[in-house]
Amino acid sequence: MKKRFLIIPLTATFLMSCTTMNKTEAPETHNPLLAPFNTPYEVPPFHLIKNAHFKPALLEAIKIHEKEIAAIADNPDKPTFENTIVAFENAGQLLIRVNTIFSNLNSANTNQELQAIAKDVAPDLSANNDNIFLNEKLFARVKAVWEAQASLNLTAEQAKLLERKYKAFQRNGANLSNNDKGRLREINRELSVLSLQYGENVLAENNNYVLLVEDKTDLAGLPPELVEAAAEEARSRGKDGQWAFTLQNASVMPFLQYADNRELRKKIWTAYQNRGRNTNPYNNNENVARLASLRAEKAKLLGYENHAAFVLEERMAKTPENVYKLLDELWKPALAKARAEEQDIRKMMAADGIKENVQPYDWRYYTEKIRKQRFDLDEQEIKPYFSLDNVRNGIFMVTEQLYGLKYRQLTDVPAYHEDVSVWEVMEKDGTHLGILYMDMHPRASKRGGAWMTSYRKQQMIKGQRKAPVISIVCNFSKPTGDAPALLTFDETTTFFHEFGHALHGLLSNVNYESLAGTSVFTDFVELPSQIMENWAAEPEVLKMYARHYKTGEVIPDGLIKKLQESATFDQGFATVEYLAAAYLDLAYHTITDPIGGTITDFENTAMKNIGLIDAIIPRYRSTYFTHIYSGGYSAGYYSYIWSGVLDTDAFDAFKSKSLFDRETARSFRANILERGGTADPMQLYINFRGSEPSIQPLLSKRGLDVVRP
């Protein structure tokens, strides 16, 4: 459960810099988005794409999609699985391709023009979706196949595809009256624009703030590489001789962890936690209220008690009550552990002559001091063993031993930014599995966090596997001076995490694109990612990849022992701040009427109801909670802890034999990674594990089964 949801220069010929991406001149007669991709592995031709290509390509793709849908709906032949369900599945391929590229770039390498296009075409995309699912003739054909399924002799995967398509119509308003359909269209149109605006505001807030330090004495406590990075950041802003700290996690979090100057910690923390609620054009308060209220209205229109009930019907959890049950089971021991941790911090603050209560901007700073005192563990002692290249190579070694995978860096493949590296992923025998883009460092054009996405999902075309094109995007610290990019251990596990998502996409082996890879319930999709984190910290694995970037020395046994002994350290805080955000998500999405009062009051009430202590705030406050307001996790942020139950139980299956047990790995690949959304996720898990998961491994991993008074 991390703060997330998914490098050697490439040949200049195929690089597309931010400058190239900003050019708007587009040839009138040729749009590379609408033409066949004559590139290696048919990846997107990033080197040819300009901003001005997107809107005409999207609008043209919508027109083509409309014609494809009309042909299915108007087909005079009797509805069959092939002429209706498969035809519907295959419709809109061009639109999927163009919109996928556009959406991914708008997240990973955006600019003002792309953002304007996104808001401009959002109503068109929303209308296109509504025109499909509110098409009565098309729904009649889908319904006819659904009702005849008993006589169709469908495979399990075909039956799942039919179920997905039929339910999609139901859940998108196909059974509503004409008046209600009209209102649904209005709601969807407004939601599409508001969610974009919300995300743009958060990105703007991240980019607009900088803490400039002029006095070198104010840098006391900060590690040298952070000071150097801040100096480079200041120089890039024309502030040579000063130090600039931003709200990017790679800057703000280590500042809060190490800066001795408490007032400066308070200053940058205040800016961090006030994102989206300042008196400026990027205030998200109204967007939050409107998004939550519209979702509640939409759910009621579709016949559900609230938005959470609507969302969770298609999740492993099934109901809000089941989610609350899990959260409540974890909240009490986590809060007790956090209170004990707070008392330890209070004692150390008192020793420093600070008598006031523990503040959020104190927590990371004193936690680091306590970690060093209690375990003789300094994170700066660890980082030299976790260079970005070493961690990447470690992941390659782990996945080679588990699944027989091989990797080859490509230098003749177009990429969307000079920071991006491209890799071919292969089976042991050299069989091509897919293409993987890796984009590792923060920049102003990239939203925060870490995520995996796809430019093309796996599918079968005429019996041949169409290989996926996958991307993982992170915001890890950049190289500084002569040193390579050095990762914290948290960043290391984030890399493993996102690579687990990538494996889910790369190893997919299904027939239909809409069921491929990560096309699964959000409370199941985190299983492949979170289980990968476990290998990162195993001593056997650490000795494979954790080498000092200067000397090549393998990480010492003593340092590994310290990492193990401190594994449950500060887990009260980590679990509580996460659970608080999950509770906040549910609070917004179980409302049945529009929000009254201010967003601050709503949030404060929600946190008071669960007894959150003042020294901790939710991991994401309402106005920068992009997971739920612009990232597809509405009423689903609990998914990380739900999947945590799965991943710790699943990893026990490996630990009970060996870390690289081939039989267990083959089973996990065959039953989880390759199957996508072709079956009920719990059944897939049982097929792998032999039984439903236990919560006990998760409690033990976090040290929540034994909490000291």
DSSP 584-623: HHHHHHT-SS---S-HHHHHHHHHHHHT--TT---SS-GG
Q: How confident is the model over 330-352, as a mean pLDDT?
A: 97
Closest CA to 253 of 222, 276, 284, 277: 222
The per-residue pLDDT for 29 is 57
User: Is 146's pLDDT higher than 80?
Assistant: yes
Among the listed residues 31, 39, 38, 91, the one whose alpha carbon sits nearest the alpha carbon of residue 57: 31
- The pLDDT-based confidence of 67 (bands split at 50, 70, 90) is very high
CA of residue 186 relative to chain centroid, distance = 28
What pLDDT digit, counting tens, does each position of 186-212 carry?
A: 999 999 999 999 999 999 999 999 999
Q: Is 498 a catalytic residue?
A: yes
Domain boundary among the residues 537, 565, 593 is at 565
Mean per-residue pLDDT, 251-267: 97
pLDDT band at 8 (very low <50, low <70, confident <90, very high): very low
Of 131, 18, 159, residue with least CA distance to 72: 131
Residue type, 48: L
pLDDT at 25 exceeding the cut of 60: no
653 within domain boundaries:
no
DSSP single-letter state for residue 438: E
| CA Rg value for the chain | 25
Same domain, 392 and 302: no
The predicted model gives 564-573 an average pLDDT of 95
Residue at which a domain ends, from 608, 637, 666: 637
pLDDT tens-place string over residues 69-81: 999 999 999 999 9
Instruction: Report whether pLDDT(64) > 60.
Output: yes
**Token output for 633:** 């996790």
User: What's the pLDDT tens digit per position in 626-672?
Assistant: 999 999 999 999 999 999 999 999 999 999 999 999 999 999 999 99
For 61, the token pair is: 């793709």
* The pLDDT value given to residue 11: 31
For residues 42 and 151, state if they share a domain. yes
CA dist 575 and 79 (Å) reads 51
Could you tell me what percent of the chain has a pLDDT over 70?
95
Looking at residue 267, its amino acid is K
Residue 458 and residue 516 in contact, taking contact as beta carbons nearer than 8 Å = yes
pLDDT band at 379 (very low <50, low <70, confident <90, very high): confident
| Closest to 511 (Cα-Cα) out of 457, 440, 434 | 457
User: 233, 498, 513, 526: which one is catalytic?
Assistant: 498
User: What is the Cα–Cα distance from 608 to 361, expressed in whole angstroms?
Assistant: 20
- DSSP three-state, residue 255: helix
Tally of domains within the chain: 4
Q: Does residue 648 fall inside a structural domain?
A: no
> Is residue 343 situated within a structural domain?
yes
Beta bridge partners of 453: 471
Helix (H) or strand (E) segment spanning residue 220: none
At 30 the three-state DSSP class reads coil
Q: How confident is the model at residue 705 (pLDDT cuts 50, 70, 90)?
A: confident
The rounded distance, in Å, linking the Cα atoms of 649 and 400 is 23
Classify strands 451-456 and 243-246 as parallel, antiparallel or unpaired: unpaired
- Of 449, 539, 531, give the one whose Cα is nearest residue 497: 531
Query: Rounded mean pLDDT of the chain?
Result: 94
* Comparison of pLDDT for 413 and 6, the residue scoring more: 413
357-377 pLDDT, tens digit per residue, is 999 999 999 999 999 999 999
Confidence (pLDDT) at 706: 55
Q: Is 8 exposed, middle or buried (0-12, 13-18, 19+ CB in 10 A)?
A: exposed
Given a contact cutoff of 8 angstroms between Cβ atoms, the answer to whether 287 and 198 are in contact is yes
CATH number at residue 500: 1.10.1370.40
> Which residues have C-beta within 8 Å of that of residue 241, sequence separation ≥ 6?
234
pLDDT in tens, 485-498: 999 999 999 999 99
Q: Are 455 and 100 in contact (CB under 8 A)?
A: yes
Cα-based distances in Å from 436 to 7, 416, 432, 543: 14, 13, 12, 26
Domain end, chosen from 544, 565, 586, is at 565
Closest CA to 322 of 308, 305, 304: 308
Classify residue 605: in a domain, yes or no. Answer: yes
Same structural domain, 318 and 391? no
Question: Do 322 and 397 have their domain in common?
Answer: no
Same domain, 517 and 589: no
CATH number at residue 60: 1.20.1050.40
Whether 697 is covered by a domain: the verdict is no
- Mean pLDDT of all residues in 81-85: 98
Alpha helices in 475-521 (DSSP H): 489-506
My answer on whether 401 and 527 are in the same domain is yes
Whether residues 321 and 401 fall in one domain: no
Band (403; pLDDT cuts 50, 70, 90):
very high
Per-residue pLDDT at 7 exceeds 70: no
Pair (38, 118) in one structural domain = yes
Buried b (16+ CB within 10 A) or exposed e, 301-311: bbebebbbbbb
Q: Which of 25-29, 476-480, 489-493 has the lowest mean pLDDT?
A: 25-29
What is the helix, strand, coil percentage profile of the chain, to 5? 60, 5, 35
Distance (Å, whole) CA 164 – CA 162: 5
Establish if 705 belongs to a structural domain: no
Query: Which pTM was predicted?
Result: 0.92
Residue 144 CA to residue 158 CA, distance in Å, equals: 15
**What φ, ψ does residue 290 adopt, rounded to 5°?**
-70, -45
Are residues 446 and 430 located together in one domain of the fold? yes
Within 10 angstroms of residue 286's Cβ, the number of other Cβ atoms is 11
User: Are both 408 and 553 inside the same structural domain?
Assistant: yes
Q: Are residues 295 and 311 in the same domain?
A: yes
Overall average pLDDT of the 573-600 stretch: 97
In a domain, 582, yes or no: yes
Domain limits for position 299: 285-377+571-637
- β partners of residue 459: 466
Coil, helix or strand at residue 359: coil
> Mean pLDDT, to the nearest integer, of 343-350?
98
Separation between Cα atoms, residue 591 and residue 605, nearest integer Å: 13
d(CA 30, CA 35): 8
| Encoded tokens for 312 | 């969770």
Task: Assess if residue 690 is contained within a domain.
Answer: no
pLDDT for position 369: 96
Q: Specify the 3-state DSSP secondary structure of 512.
A: coil
CA distance linking residue 638 with residue 317, whole number of Å: 10
Q: How far, in Å, CA of 635 to CA of 625, rounded? A: 12
For residue range 271-321, list pLDDT tens digits in order.
999 999 999 999 999 999 999 999 999 999 999 999 999 999 999 999 999
Name the pLDDT band for 481 (thresholds 50, 70, 90).
confident
Does 488 share its domain with 424? yes
